[in-house]
Amino acid sequence: MTPVTEALPAVKLTDRINRIEPSATLAVVNEADKLRQQGIDVVDFGAGEPHFSTPQHIKDAAILAIQNNFTKYTPVGGTAELRDTIVHRHAVDFDSDYRREEVVASTGGKHALFNAIQVLVDHGDDVILPVPYWVSFKDIVRYAGGNCVLLETDEAQGFRLTAEMIERRITPRTKLIILNSPCNPSGAVMSPGDLESVVRLATQRGIWIVSDECYVYLNYTDRRFSVGSLREYRDRMVIIGSLSKTYAMTGWRLGYALGPAQIISAMQKLQSQSTSNPTSIVQKAAVAALKGPQQCVEDMRLEYIQLRDHVVKGLRSIPGVKCTMPEGAFYAYPNISSFFGRSGVKTAADVAGKLLREAHVATVPGEGFGTTDHIRVSYATSTAELDRGLERMRKFLAGL
């Protein structure tokens, strides 16, 4: 037998796999896990998921599905029951008017996003990506062969994105604009007016919009808003939704896309050749989530607002830290650039790395989201845990 220690021959991987990088967020999770395995108590502000448990009525629906043997293949894009429930929920909450053929259920929002971009973006197409961006957008576009045209937003303006800013970045090859409101990592929320101007501009120029609305229910302004309300522009838009954050269901993997039937059908074709249907029992749980009482969503939202206020107040009280007020999602995005140049620290990655290794607080460095001056702090945790982490950060940063 060949000894396992023998050097393996170099494998020629495809160009497309070499174009992408592993998720920066997952890298932090792995490093924090390693420290935990050594018995170190790590305060985790890195994770991008709710600290709540999935509501009981949703879990019960999945258990019942197993007991009723709802455990076989379903139609690739989800059962008719689930697809009708998704469009109904969206119509009630956002006054949209999608039909069953205009929705596909996938194995998480990321999967729906991946499929949408694979069917819309071709080699050499330009995709406008506002900065800061969620880590996966860039790599998913690159995997499809597209070029990301990065569009800087201004922290002093609360990372606001306007149609005028987008217009300046349009090229003859622009195929798609990616929107993400509420935004991961900045927590910025686009106003309905700004969203409408962007969608109108895109339609006038024959450009597609992919609107990632995975945090649409975690909006702390007085009005939650989906571009799906803008019915007159529906022919140019694909909306990505997810149950992960809304119902604390990250591990269940259920997301969806709403859009023109031709795009949805192409996404289903791709899905039919890769994952097939999302898990059957999860589809039953998703119907229960979307049809059942929505008070759980509001209760979680109200708690996130309190946690947001708490963490932003704490961060702003640390000398040298600046922090915009996030209006949605569950992340704060403090600017820590005033510490550069101290104790050999030069970048946000250096700050986050030292913070994890020396103060045992996990955060995600801004580089993964396209900015150099920030770290992302997830506040989806208890107030007590926030206080522990903030205290460690305060001491660590004071000692730099």
Ligand X SMILES: Cc1ncc(COP(=O)(O)O)c(C=O)c1O
Residues engaged in binding ligand X (CB under 6 A): 48, 108-110, 134, 180, 184, 212, 214, 242, 244, 250, 255
One-letter-per-residue 3-state SS of the chain: CCCCCCCCCCCCCCHHHHCCCCCHHHHHHHHHHHHHHCCCCCEECCCCCCCCCCCHHHHHHHHHHHHCCCCCCCCCCCCHHHHHHHHHHHHHHHCCCCCHHHEEEECCHHHHHHHHHHHHCCCCCEEEEEECCCHHHHHHHHHCCCEEEEEECCHHHCCCCCHHHHHCCCCCCEEEEEEECCCCCCCCCCCHHHHHHHHHHHHHHCCEEEEECCCCCCECCCCCCCHHHCHHHHHHEEEEEECCCCCCCCCCCCEEEECCHHHHHHHHHHHHCCCCCCCHHHHHHHHHHHHCCCHHHHHHHHHHHHHHHHHHHHHHCCCCCECCCCCECCEECCECHHHCCCCCCCCHHHHHHHHHHHHCEECEEHHHHCCCCEEEEECCCCHHHHHHHHHHHHHHHHCC
Shortest distance, position 373 Cβ to ligand X, whole Å: 20
Shortest distance, position 253 Cβ to ligand X, whole Å: 7
Q: Which is nearer to ligand X, 286 or 345 (CB)?
A: 286
Q: Which is nearer to ligand X, 134 or 208 (CB)?
A: 134
Q: Which is nearer to ligand X, 109 or 146 (CB)?
A: 109
Q: Which is nearer to ligand X, 109 or 259 (CB)?
A: 109
Shortest distance, position 135 Cβ to ligand X, whole Å: 8
In 3D, which of 377, 385, 203, 224 has the Cα closest to residue 298? 224
- Which position has the token pair 């106003």? 191
Tell me whether strands 147-152 and 174-180 are parallel, antiparallel or unpaired: unpaired
In 3D, which of 284, 246, 254 has the Cα closest to residue 103? 254
Shortest distance, position 232 Cβ to ligand X, whole Å: 26
Tokens of 139: 């790599």
Q: Which is nearer to ligand X, 184 or 277 (CB)?
A: 184
Shortest distance, position 345 Cβ to ligand X, whole Å: 27
Q: Which is nearer to ligand X, 43 or 214 (CB)?
A: 214
What lies within 8 Å, CB to CB, of 103 at 6+ separation is: 77, 78, 83, 86, 87, 256, 257, 258, 264
Q: Which is nearer to ligand X, 246 or 324 (CB)?
A: 246
Shortest distance, position 241 Cβ to ligand X, whole Å: 8
Q: Which is nearer to ligand X, 47 or 149 (CB)?
A: 47
Q: Which is nearer to ligand X, 184 or 337 (CB)?
A: 184
Shortest distance, position 246 Cβ to ligand X, whole Å: 9
Shortest distance, position 288 Cβ to ligand X, whole Å: 17
Shortest distance, position 212 Cβ to ligand X, whole Å: 5
Q: Cα separations (Å) of 149 from 17, 237, 393? A: 20, 19, 34
Q: Which is nearer to ligand X, 98 or 134 (CB)?
A: 134
Shortest distance, position 14 Cβ to ligand X, whole Å: 24
Shortest distance, position 368 Cβ to ligand X, whole Å: 12
Q: Which is nearer to ligand X, 249 or 318 (CB)?
A: 249
In 3D, which of 215, 235, 240, 213 has the Cα closest to residue 226? 213
